[in-house]
Structure 1
Amino acid sequence: MRRLLTVILGVAIGLLVGNSAIHAAPALDPRWQTAGATHETSLVDRLTRSEKAPLLFVPDSVTTQPAAPATLVIVLPGLGNDGRDLAQEFVSAAEEHRWLLLAPSPDYDPIANETLTLADLRVDESLVALADQVLAQSRFHLAPAIDVVGFSRGAQSAHRFALRHPERVAALATLSAGTYTIPTSSEPYPLGVGDFALWNHQRPFDAAAMRRVRVFVGVGGADANPADVARAWDAVGGTTRLERATRFAQALQQLGVPSRFESYPGIGHAFVPAMRDDTVAWFVGRP
């Protein structure tokens, strides 16, 4: 066993001095653990677990003061990406503001005979179950309402999570989504909320509850290639990510949702530090 640990440590050190340092470091960081784990994870666990397992970042600021209030933040990556990579962007803020970062790596693509809508609902249900598990098992004083941030495909799931469960969400940051469900549209879900109850366990869209969610909408000012997005949303949302984000933000304003819209000049379809900084500011209550 000692020899095995020596080999593993040697491999880890080799990773840290090579090009994989950014990815290896979180695996060695004891603040990261498998989401829902009921015990502290060992070094071997952290090095051998699946990269796609949902992970939870627990900052030292929370561990050292477990009775003080803290917030659960769900971080949703783009299609095919690792949730930990996007969550790593928020680690410093998590330490400062006492956030637990829940970083799943959802399988967004349809499986078997699923439609895109059913796949989206499957991801939503998995997020609900995962958040409930973390909240129930946590020994920390977590607020019942959570914050959610998503980029690209993750932003699509993030804002629909808030639309379906507004009572669960305090603040939302949706960044560069390819499609939006327009909450003022009578088009069928997921274009609008016309038949929302059909896809939400017979619960209609709760506009009053949504008005208690603070929403930040961000998109690159050059994220404007019509070939990058699905055509089914053209009539209700526009033909590019930039136009669709703009229309979604306008719909939120029309609905009376406290919100902010920001485009980033010269930025295409990419997550940039300014998006992170604006998200952090929004989550801590700075306009």
Structure 2
Amino acid sequence: MPTERPLSPWHLPPDHPAQLFLTGSTPLFALSGDPRVSYCLHVPRGHSNTDEPSPLVVAVHGTHRNVGQVRDHFADFAEEHGCVVLAPLFPAGLTGPNDLDSYKFFTAPGFRPDLLLLDMIEEAAGRWHIRTDRFHLHGFSGGGQFAHRFFYLHPDRLASLSVGAPGRTTLLDSRTPWWRGTADSAELLGAAPDTRAMAELPVQLVIGEHDTHVEVWEGAEQPGSRMDRLNELRENWARHGIATQLDIVSGAGHSDLDVIPAVLSFLSEQIEAPAGRRHTPAGPESTKGLPDL
């Protein structure tokens, strides 16, 4: 049986109704290799296959999985900068009836969300003209957990990284098992962190000024607030030669919408930078404050 070819915007007349679903904000597409997961995109209206492949920004949802809203935060940015935004969806309940977190840790049997994201990118490249060798990755909250762990395993696939207010963090620590450390990541996940490659990437850590709530319930998995954990992560990375830009957003709490201007400012610098010229993050002790939003 012949395989149906995925349609691209340039396969259709400009006024064809399907253009509404192939450019702008798209519907969710099931991943053909694993339809348990899916992805949606924002594709600039003028997207074509006649120029260089468009830069790709991947934006990963938090635990609420408001994937369309996450994608839409970047829509105007995509149109302005000519980049494509891809937002994956890793559903709740995928590995069990009470599963909310498996996509953040990569260790559930039969479920490697990091590899599924790479499959989504390759599949999307069969329909849209996007750069697939390296992409810009952002995640907030649960998405921030995904993003910084992806960084440990696949720095060679990233053009830049933006990590927003993760609730639980993994430190570069060769004595502590995954997920709190990285001692057994090669055995469990097939890759040990390559700190030299990680140090070559522009990295943003971003959080709201008031994102300082401390969980006190019994069984809380890490001490302190998200602010404490992000600072600990930054110090840990600095000890391994990985510089970061820390953006603390004035007046904001734990809100992906409130930190988006800082994220877009960072991404704008990366996408607009000449080829081969990387953004140099702020020094380990500095922050880049923003006005009240």
Give the structure 2 partner of residue 54 of structure 1: 39
AA aligned to 2:185 is F
Give the structure 2 partner of residue 97 of structure 1: 81
Give the structure 2 partner of residue 276 of structure 1: 260
AA aligned to 2:249 is Y
Q: For the Cα contact (< 8 Å) 1:62–1:68, is it kept in 2? A: no
Quick check: 1:216 aligned with 2:201?
Answer: no
Higher helix share: 1
Q: For the Cα contact (< 8 Å) 1:156–1:178, is it kept in 2? A: yes
Quick check: 1:74 aligned with 2:58?
Answer: yes
Alpha-carbon distance, 1:160 to partner: 1.0
In the aligned structure 2, how far is the partner of 1:145 from the partner of 1:29?
22
* Identity among equivalent pairs (%): 22
In the aligned structure 1, how far is the partner of 2:174 from the partner of 2:266?
26
- Residue aligned with 2:136, SS: strand
Give the structure 2 partner of residue 17 of structure 1: none
- Residue aligned with 1:95, SS: helix
CA offsets per residue over residues 164-216 of structure 1, 9 Å max, x none? 11100111111111011112563211111111112222x22211111122110
Structure 1 segments (4+ residues) deviating >3 Å: 27-30, 34-38, 112-117
- Residue aligned with 1:181, SS: coil
In the aligned structure 1, how far is the partner of 2:216 from the partner of 2:203?
24
- Residue aligned with 1:248, SS: helix
Alpha-carbon distance, 1:101 to partner: 0.7
List aligned pairs for 1:188-203, cutoff 5 A.
Answer: 188-201=177-190, 203=191
In the aligned structure 1, how far is the partner of 2:208 from the partner of 2:56?
27
Give the structure 1 partner of residue 26 of structure 2: 33
Alpha-carbon distance, 1:98 to partner: 1.7
Unaligned runs of 5+ in 2: 1-19, 32-36, 271-278, 282-293
Give the structure 1 partner of residue 167 of structure 2: 178
Compared CA separation, residues 222 and 141, structure 1 to 2 (3 A): closer
List aligned pairs for 1:153-164, cutoff 5 A.
Answer: 153-164=142-153
AA aligned to 2:123 is Q
Give the structure 1 partner of residue 250 of structure 2: 265
Q: For the Cα contact (< 8 Å) 2:73–2:257, is it kept in 1? A: no
Alpha-carbon distance, 1:254 to partner: 2.1
AA aligned to 2:236 is A
Alpha-carbon distance, 1:119 to partner: 4.0
- Residue aligned with 1:142, SS: coil
- Residue aligned with 1:92, SS: helix
AA aligned to 1:84 is G
Q: For the Cα contact (< 8 Å) 2:38–2:88, is it kept in 1? A: yes
In the aligned structure 2, how far is the partner of 1:225 from the partner of 1:98?
38
List aligned pairs for 1:217-256, cutoff 5 A.
Answer: 217-227=205-215, 231-234=220-223, 239-256=224-241
AA aligned to 1:107 is P
In the aligned structure 1, how far is the partner of 2:128 from the partner of 2:151?
25
CA offsets per residue over residues 74-124 of structure 1, 9 Å max, x none? 111111222120121111111122211111222255623989542496322
Compared CA separation, residues 253 and 168, structure 1 to 2 (3 A): same
Unaligned runs of 5+ in 1: 1-26, 39-51
In the aligned structure 2, how far is the partner of 1:132 from the partner of 1:28?
19
Alpha-carbon distance, 1:36 to partner: 6.1
How many residues are aligned here?
241
Compared CA separation, residues 91 and 204, structure 1 to 2 (3 A): same
Alpha-carbon distance, 1:37 to partner: 8.5
Q: For the Cα contact (< 8 Å) 1:94–1:101, is it kept in 2? A: yes
- Residue aligned with 1:170, SS: strand
- Residue aligned with 1:154, SS: helix
Q: 1:131 aligns with which of 102, 118, 121?
A: 121
AA aligned to 2:199 is R
- Residue aligned with 2:145, SS: helix
Q: 1:145 aligns with which of 134, 146, 150?
A: 134
Give the structure 1 partner of residue 3 of structure 2: none
In the aligned structure 2, how far is the partner of 1:160 from the partner of 1:98?
28
Compared CA separation, residues 96 and 66, structure 1 to 2 (3 A): farther
